[in-house]
Amino acid sequence: MTVTLLTDYGHDDEFVGVCHGVIRTIVPDAPIVDVTHGIPRHSIRHGALVLRNALPYLPPGVHMAVVDPQVGTERRAVAVRCGDGRLLVGPDNGLLSLAWERAGGVVEAVDVSRSPHRLEPVSATFHGRDVFAPVAAHLSAGAALADAGDPLDPADLVELELPVASVGADEALAHVLLVDRFGNAALNLDHAALLATGGTIGSRVLVESGGRSRKATVVQTFADVAPGELLLYEDAWGWLALAINRGDAAAELGLEPDREVRIAASR
């Protein structure tokens, strides 16, 4: 069964490679997919959103995720089975919660902090290597979830809360969910919400954030506006997003996660 990995380890150090080594030692031939290791350090919500977005495009399997500022403390390490059969492995800090919502909820959960699959001695700072990777590998090899740790009530798992946008008659008050490396900023709005404010393809809207105000064109893709122009489009995950064609919208508008953004019809 495929193992997928998502972390904030980056590629400068050997953390990802060592996790691969641990997995390959246990299951030499399992396909491994690195979803990304570029989650901003300690950004649980960014990781949770990316995992949720990517999930439908990943083969069913064991999905390990590690963004873990509380590593080495009493925070739980968990493995869960979702309604659709996918298995998720990671710290119990909300990182996995948007993914399991999308995958049919949690039908079985275990605490793997003292998993029989763990590598001893477990270090205080690298549970990716010592706990999560060996647990994920054994699950991918067919080990039973119930044998990977101690049973846990799914209701006790940590859930993540996302900010909620409010959509009025001619404006929407939204928030930045995440910013990608090109400076494109996804908002907690979908296309239906935009239509409610009168925004249709080709129309102009007013974008206000942090005291700055700028007009954007509602379009389908970057090349529909001139280089340097602001656009509002439905991104590849179904969110409305702000971007600048061949530019960096986040830098120019000061957009960062949780920042409020007002989108209003432009008259």
Residues that bind a second copy (CB under 8 A): 2, 4, 6, 10-14, 16-18, 20-22, 24-25, 28-29, 31, 33-38, 41-42, 50, 53-54, 57-59, 69-73, 123-126, 129-130, 180-182, 220-224, 233-236, 246
Handedness of CA 119, 125, 126, 128 (dihedral sign): positive
Minimum distance from residue 174 beta carbon to a second copy (Å): 19
- Minimum CB–partner distance for residue 151 and a second copy (Å): 26
Residue 10 or residue 228: which is nearer to a second copy going by CB? 10
In the complex, least distance from residue 147 CB atom to a second copy, rounded to whole angstroms: 23
CB of 148 to a second copy, least distance (A): 20
Q: Looking at the chain, which runs of residues are DSSP E strands?
A: 2-7, 32-36, 61-66, 77-82, 87-91, 106-111, 150-152, 166-167, 171-179, 185-187, 204-209, 212-218, 230-234, 240-244, 260-265
Strands 240-244 and 230-234: antiparallel
Q: Render 40-102 in DSSP notation, one character per residue.
A: PTT-HHHHHHHHHHHGGGSPSEEEEEE--TTTTSS--EEEEEETTS-EEEEESSSTTHHHHHH
Three-state DSSP at 7 gives strand
Residue number with CB closer to a second copy (184 or 209): 184
User: Closest separation between CB of residue 154 and a second copy, Å?
Assistant: 25
In the bound state with a second copy, the residue whose beta carbon lies nearer, of 25 and 213, is 25
- Token pair, residue 205, equals 């809207």
Least Cβ distance, residue 10 to a second copy (angstroms) = 6
Residue number, 4 or 264, with CB nearest to a second copy: 4
Cβ proximity to a second copy, 101 vs 248, nearer residue: 248
Question: Alpha-carbon distance 195 to 185, whole Å?
Answer: 19
Comparing CB distances to a second copy, the nearer of 10 and 254 is 10
Report the residue number, 63 or 264, with the smaller CB distance to a second copy: 63
Nearest distance from residue 58's CB to a second copy, in Å? 4
**What is the spatial distance between Cα 70 and Cα 142, in angstroms, rounded to a whole number?**
29
CB 102 within 8 A of CB 55: yes
